């Protein structure tokens, strides 16, 4: 079932530009957060989070941590209000008058206590807990459920936390990463130094002992970006997909896959390889993996895998933030001409002009193309066929497979495929 999250009002579209330069360093995705801010909306993932969850399992998973959430968030707001020496910038609308600090802190504490009667006060560093039993199999997640899962994974960490992220500005996730690093658990992050929110978060993360590497060559090419979104915990859990951890990201239509076991070990190996490419060494205590990449791919091998999978598909459903790569467009058209059922859902709010060209070309050969409603950004990068689900950070652009660093998961797990098909149908039916 598709989890519902608030829509975001449109605030304009980006200007068109040539296919081969559709993901320059000022990538269009970094404007999503700015649009949300201009519309006056707040990022629900960076506030108290004592709100009704989109899915039942999300509510159950977080009920035991409400007090911790409230206290941590109150501390963040207090630091912002009294002019802490930290370099983190408070978003518009967050700064408050000093006279409101005491009442606000009380409200936060009450919000945390309301969900836990006779509970002990939680320590400043969240106690480590095992992964929630609400998800025991690989699963497709979206919206608030992605952040809930990330919270639980970080809290459960015993040995290491590895993060690759493009947009990192969510106060809650930053606080959890810092708390774990302060407790002595190695926290490593490969980040994009050109993204505005991320650049502001880096000094604070490093001040709290989070080890940060800013992506440069050879991980990215000239004018490319570190665009991957992957969290790996303890060599045993991985969350990978298209969701940024930025201001307003939770409001986008996006999807991640949570899984464990062999895929998590592969994700650990992929991260460690990326880390070493940047000239850094793996700290003591981090489990070392040397698993060959089979299901988590990037660059030209990823494009080759996508084209190969499409070539054998009889049904294709693609939900994409951007579609401008000529090879992918050509393969979708080729499969439609061969009799395959091809459905494509494209973003209309941020990338309408670019996507309109692909839509016209595909519609002419019988592909069912629909634009996602403009009151919400379709930020997903998901392709589902009759035998595989491909989900990750790579847009259907040229730069995604040449200049940028992206990570996509190819999975044949029947449960994930079923959820992905259902998710696509729900998005397709949305008016």
Does the structure show a pLDDT above 70 at 240? yes
Residue 55 is encoded by which pair of tokens? 């899915």
DSSP E strands: which ranges in 126-275? 139-141, 161-165, 187-191, 211-214, 230-233, 237-241, 256-260
Asked whether residue 166 falls in the same domain as residue 244, the answer is yes
Is there a contact between 226 and 277 (Cβ–Cβ < 8 Å)? no
- Whether the Cβ atoms of residue 228 and residue 119 lie closer than 8 Å to each other: no
Best mean pLDDT range from 47-61, 101-115, 174-188, 288-302:
174-188
Q: In this structure, is residue 417 part of a structural domain?
A: yes
Asked whether residue 285 falls in the same domain as residue 307, the answer is no
Tens digit of each residue's pLDDT (9 = 90 or more) over 376-406: 999 999 999 999 999 999 999 999 999 999 9
- CB-based burial label for 136 (10 Å; 0-12, 13-18, 19+): exposed
In a domain, 168, yes or no: yes
Mean pLDDT of the chain: 79
pLDDT band for 352, please (50, 70, 90 cuts): confident
Of the candidates 291, 326, 343, which is a domain's last residue? 291
Q: Given a cut of 80, is residue 422 above it in pLDDT?
A: yes
**CB of 166 closer than 8 Å to CB of 241:** no
Note the pLDDT tens digit of each residue in 97-149. 444 444 444 544 444 444 443 333 333 444 444 444 445 689 999 999 999 99
Same domain, 180 and 275: yes
Mean pLDDT calculated for residue range 19-35: 41
Asked which of 11-20, 220-229, 359-368, 411-420 is least confident by mean pLDDT, the reply is: 11-20
- Residues 380, 420, single domain; the answer is yes
Tell whether the model's pLDDT for residue 237 goes beyond 60: yes
Residue 256 has pLDDT above 50, yes or no: yes
pLDDT at residue 72 greater than cutoff 90: no
Q: What is the mean pLDDT of residues 162-168?
A: 98
Q: Is residue 52 part of a domain?
A: no
In a domain, 189, yes or no: yes
Report the pLDDT value the prediction gives residue 351, as an integer from 0 to 100: 86
Pick from 153, 166, 336, 175: which is nearest to 231 by CA? 153
pLDDT-wise least confident of 78-82, 159-163, 240-244, 315-319: 78-82
Give 293's pLDDT tier (boundaries 50, 70, 90).
Answer: confident
Say if 125 falls within a structural domain: no
Does residue 189 or residue 54 have the better pLDDT?
A: 189
Report which of residues 251 and 82 the model is more confident about: 251
Q: Number of structural domains, the chain?
A: 2
Q: What value does the mean pLDDT take over residues 6-29?
A: 38
| 286 and 305 fall within a common domain | no
What pLDDT, on a 0 to 100 scale, did the predictor assign at position 257? Answer: 98
Share of residues in the chain with pLDDT > 90 (%) = 65
Residues 184 and 283 in one domain: yes
Judge if 284 and 305 occupy the same domain: no
Output 18 or 136, whichever has higher pLDDT: 136
Residue 344 belongs to a domain = yes
d(CA 56, CA 190): 32
Mean pLDDT in residue range 218-236: 97
Q: Residue 204 falls within a domain, yes or no?
A: yes
Least confident of 102-106, 127-131, 212-216, 422-426: 127-131
Select from 239, 268, 291 the last residue of a domain. 291
> Is pLDDT above 90 for 53?
no
For the chain, give the percent of residues with pLDDT over 70: 68
- End position of a domain, from candidates 271, 291, 311: 291
pLDDT for position 292 = 83
Q: Which are the contacts of 10, defined by CB distance < 8 A and separation ≥ 6?
A: 35, 349, 374, 375
For tokens 């991957």, name the residue. Answer: 228
CB atoms within 10 A of CB 211: 17
Q: Is 23 a domain residue?
A: no
Please tell me whether residues 164 and 148 are part of one structural domain: yes
pLDDT at 233: 98
Are residues 149 and 273 located together in one domain of the fold? Answer: yes
pLDDT tens figures, 186-206: 999 999 999 999 999 999 999
Same domain, 227 and 250: yes
> Does residue 219 share a domain with residue 357?
no
Give the domain range for residue 194.
Answer: 130-291
**pLDDT computed for residue 136 by the predictor:** 62
Q: Do 303 and 275 belong to one domain?
A: no
Return the minimum-mean-pLDDT range out of 90-99, 234-243, 414-423: 90-99
Higher model confidence: residue 2 or residue 410? 410
Q: Which residue has the higher pLDDT, 307 or 55?
A: 307
More confident residue, 75 or 172: 172
What is the β-pairing status of strands 139-141 and 256-260? antiparallel
- Identify the CATH number of the domain in which residue 169 sits: 3.30.870.10
Which alpha helices (DSSP H) does 157-261 contain, by range?
171-182, 196-207
């Amino acid at each position: 079932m598709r989890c519902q999250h608030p829509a975001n009002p449109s605030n304009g579209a980006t200007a068109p530009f040539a296919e081969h330069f559709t993901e320059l360093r000022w990538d269009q995705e970094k404007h999503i957060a700015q649009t949300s801010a201009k519309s006056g909306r707040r990022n629900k993932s960076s506030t108290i989070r004592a709100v009704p969850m989109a899915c039942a399992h999300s509510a159950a998973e977080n009920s035991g941590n409400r007090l911790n959430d409230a206290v941590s968030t109150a501390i963040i707001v207090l630091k912002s209000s009294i002019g802490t020496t930290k370099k983190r910038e408070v978003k518009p609308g967050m700064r408050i008058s000093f006279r409101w600090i005491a009442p606000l802190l009380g409200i936060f504490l009450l919000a945390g206590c309301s969900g836990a009667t006779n509970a002990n006060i939680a320590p400043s560093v969240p106690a480590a807990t095992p992964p929630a039993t609400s998800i025991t199999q690989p699963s497709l997640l979206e919206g608030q459920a992605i952040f809930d899962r990330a919270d639980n994974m970080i809290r459960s960490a015993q040995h290491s936390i590895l993060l690759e992220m493009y947009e990192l500005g969510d106060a809650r996730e930053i606080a959890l990463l810092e708390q774990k690093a302060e407790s002595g658990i190695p926290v490593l992050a490969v980040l994009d130094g050109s993204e505005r929110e991320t650049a502001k978060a880096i000094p604070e993360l490093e001040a709290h002992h989070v080890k940060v590497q800013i992506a440069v060559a050879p991980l990215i090419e000239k004018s490319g970006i570190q665009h991957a979104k992957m969290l790996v915990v303890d060599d045993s859990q991985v969350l990978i997909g298209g969701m940024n951890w930025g201001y307003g990201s939770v409001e986008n239509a996006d999807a991640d896959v949570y899984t464990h076991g062999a895929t998590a070990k592969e994700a650990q190996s992929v991260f460690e390889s990326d880390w070493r490419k940047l000239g850094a060494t793996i700290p003591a205590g981090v489990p070392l993996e040397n698993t060959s990449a089979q299901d988590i791919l990037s660059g030209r091998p990823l494009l080759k895998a996508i084209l190969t999978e499409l070539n054998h598909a009889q049904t294709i459903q693609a939900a994409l933030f951007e579609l401008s790569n000529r090879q992918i467009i050509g393969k979708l058209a080729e499969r439609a001409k061969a009799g395959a059922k091809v459905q494509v859902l494209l973003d209309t709010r941020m990338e309408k002009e670019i996507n309109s060209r692909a839509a016209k070309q595909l519609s002419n050969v019988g592909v069912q193309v629909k634009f996602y409603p403009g009151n919400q950004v379709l930020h997903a990068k998901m392709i589902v066929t009759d035998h595989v689900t491909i989900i990750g950070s790579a847009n259907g652009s040229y730069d995604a497979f040449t200049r940028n660093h992206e990570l996509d998961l190819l999975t044949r797990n029947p449960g994930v495929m079923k959820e992905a098909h259902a998710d696509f149908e729900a998005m397709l039916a949305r008016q």
